[in-house]
């Protein structure tokens, strides 16, 4: 089962590594039938976060992607852009960056 996690980022480059670490830790408890896709959406194009995202390690069970909005368009637009990138069984979306809470929605 493929699980995608959409992470909108607005001036939040400090959250890139903690979110990745949280996802990687959760991957350890899943069996090998699961793969995770972590999609960062940069909603503040004045700051280049590609270097930070590209340094994150990938594996056959975890992929990391980055999408840059052309301009600041808000969290809803960013989530929709992330949705356009995936076709998965389960979608996770961060709802509070300060607590790193995740909601899980089945994708039909």
CATH number of 47's domain: 3.90.550.10
Residue 100 has what pLDDT? 46
Helix (H) or strand (E) holding 54: helix 50-54
Residue 105 has what pLDDT? 55
Give the model's confidence band at 89: pLDDT under 50 very low, under 70 low, under 90 confident, else very high.
low
**CA nearest to 47, candidates 25, 71, 83:** 71
CA–CA gap between residue 58 and residue 77 (Å, rounded): 26
* pLDDT per position as a tens digit, 4-45: 888 999 998 898 999 999 888 888 787 777 788 899 999 998
More confident residue, 16 or 94: 16
pLDDT more than 70, % of the chain: 80
Query: Which structural domain range is residue 51 located in?
Result: 2-106
CA distances from residue 70 to 28, 39, 50, 100, 101 in whole angstroms, order as listed: 35, 16, 14, 25, 27
CA–CA gap between residue 103 and residue 90 (Å, rounded): 10
Q: Specify the number of domains making up the chain.
A: 1
The Cα angle at residue 27 between residues 108 and 8, in degrees rounded to 5: 60
């Amino acid at each position: 089962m493929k699980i995608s996690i959409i992470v909108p980022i607005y001036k939040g480059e400090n959250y890139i590594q903690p979110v990745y670490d949280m996802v990687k830790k959760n991957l350890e408890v899943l069996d090998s039938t699961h793969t995770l896709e972590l999609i960062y959406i940069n909603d503040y194009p004045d700051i280049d976060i590609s270097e930070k995202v590209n340094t994150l390690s990938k594996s056959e069970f975890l992929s990391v992607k980055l999408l840059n909005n052309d301009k600041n368009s808000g969290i809803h637009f960013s989530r929709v852009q992330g949705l356009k990138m995936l076709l998965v069984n389960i979608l996770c979306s961060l709802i509070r960056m300060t607590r790193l809470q995740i909601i899980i929605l089945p994708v039909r």
